[in-house]
Amino acid sequence: MDKGELGFDSINLGHGSGGLMTRDLLDKIIFKTFSNPFLDQKHDGSIVKFDGPIAISTDSFVVSPIFFKGGNIGELAVHGTVNDVAMCGAIPKYLSLAFVVEEGLKIDEFITIVNSIKEAADNSGVQIITGDTKVVERGKGDKIFINTTGFGKVNSKANISTDNIKVGDKIIVNGYLAQHGMAIMSQREGLEFESTIESDSTNLNFLVNDLINEFGNKIHLFRDPTRGGVASVLSEIAQDINQGVNIYENDIPLEKQVAAACEILGLDPLYVANEGLFITIVDAEIADEVLKFIKNDEKGRNSACIGEITEEHQGKVVMYSSIGGKRIVTPLIGEQLPRIC
């Protein structure tokens, strides 16, 4: 689709009116891009069938800037929800897709976003089966907000629950921390710095499903540490299970540029957002095999075991520093703010 066929350069309030202009936008961009038997019915909703338990997850995406190194808000909206469904031990199959567009958004930006949603959905094996487009006045949004809801069939071999976590379980991540958050940070107004840091935004559903098929109920938990980072997720887990969590600074995988950027900006990578990262908590006896399995996958090359569950310091996460000291890792409070000096 190129904008010449559309006859308009940017989205205006008329495109959210529900009238002919809305229809035009939907027909020429949305339906055309995402065409599938569900959407082609152009009904108010879609009817789908699942056998057995399903996992449902919803998320809204408001990232700014909407285009960043390594991705854009569109693919993020797919990966984020696909991954959330996958973390439940399910195989994501369908997505809903709702846009809130601020009037004035350039149509070629909108098309780029839609195309990258399509590509991310195809790569994740999901179909867009229902959606919505609203347009708000200038100043009442930030270019574009996207909400997606994902639906997936739970893998019958999965038994994902914090209830299964026990003392001695190992904590594994599939790659470098803090890539997404630092990629965004490097492009924020006023904070820009030169780097080639790219967002890690990607779909994790196939790797997660392969792990469940291979290791079944020995895998006790999956979580994706998006906003709030690894620290916040682990703190939540420690509180939920009322056991302690130990993590080891030396074992935490960090890409050099990200580590350096965090140093310069005074940010702690444990609290920075990720979009292609999962934490899995597994039975200690399979930890080495799990690690090997993940490292064999393209999305897990930099995987590492970063800690374990302990009966000490219940409800708390303790980090062993590289010099042998200890500190409590608390959940993130508010937004992580750059330090003065």
Partner 1 sequence: MKYLTEYRNLEATKKYLELIDKTITKRWNIMEICGGQTHGLVKNGILELLPDKVQMIHGPGCPVCVTPLNLIDKAIELLENGVIVCSFGDMIRVPGSKKSLLEAKADGGDLRILYSPIEAVNIAKKNPDKEVVFFAVGFETTAPANALSVLHAQKEGLKNYSILVSHVLVPPAMEAILDDEFCNIDAFLGAGHVCAIMGYREYHPLAEKYKIPIVITGFEPLDLVQGIYLAVKQLENEIHKVENQYSRAVKEEGNKAAINVIKQVFKVGNREWRGIGEIPNSGYVLTKEFKEFDAELKFGITNIKVPENPECIAGEILRGIKKPHECNQFGEVCNPSNPLGAPMVSSEGACAAYYHFSNNDILK
> Which residues make up the interface to partner 1 (CB under 8 A)?
189-191, 256, 259-260, 263, 265-266, 313, 316, 318, 320-328, 330, 333-334, 337-341
Q: Which is nearer to partner 1, 254 or 305 (CB)?
A: 254
Q: Which is nearer to partner 1, 20 or 323 (CB)?
A: 323
Q: Which is nearer to partner 1, 19 or 266 (CB)?
A: 266
Q: Provide, rounded to whole angstroms, the least separation between the CB of residue 320 and partner 1.
A: 8
Q: Which is nearer to partner 1, 204 or 319 (CB)?
A: 319
| Rounded CA separation 317/129 (Å) | 41
**Which parts of the chain fold into alpha helices (H)?**
20-25, 32-34, 73-87, 107-124, 179-185, 205-215, 229-241, 256-265, 287-295
| Tokens matching residue 214 | 């291979």
Q: Which is nearer to partner 1, 157 or 313 (CB)?
A: 313
Q: Which is nearer to partner 1, 138 or 326 (CB)?
A: 326
Q: Which of 109, 114, 111, 81 is nearest to 96 (CA)?
A: 81
Residue 103: what are its φ and ψ, rounded to 5°? Answer: -60, 145
Q: Provide, rounded to whole angstroms, the least separation between the CB of residue 253 and partner 1.
A: 14
Q: Provide, rounded to whole angstroms, the least separation between the CB of residue 256 and partner 1.
A: 6
Q: Which of 26, 19, 3, 24 is nearest to 132 (CA)?
A: 26
Q: Provide, rounded to whole angstroms, the least separation between the CB of residue 188 and partner 1.
A: 8
Q: Which is nearer to partner 1, 41 or 322 (CB)?
A: 322
| Rounded CA separation 200/91 (Å) | 21
Q: Which of 268, 246, 118 is nearest to 181 (CA)?
A: 268
CA distances from 183 to 47, 103, 187, 200, 231 (A): 39, 27, 7, 9, 19
Q: Provide, rounded to whole angstroms, the least separation between the CB of residue 18 and partner 1.
A: 31
Q: Provide, rounded to whole angstroms, the least separation between the CB of residue 176 and partner 1.
A: 14
Q: Provide, rounded to whole angstroms, the least separation between the CB of residue 197 and partner 1.
A: 14
| Rounded CA separation 93/121 (Å) | 9
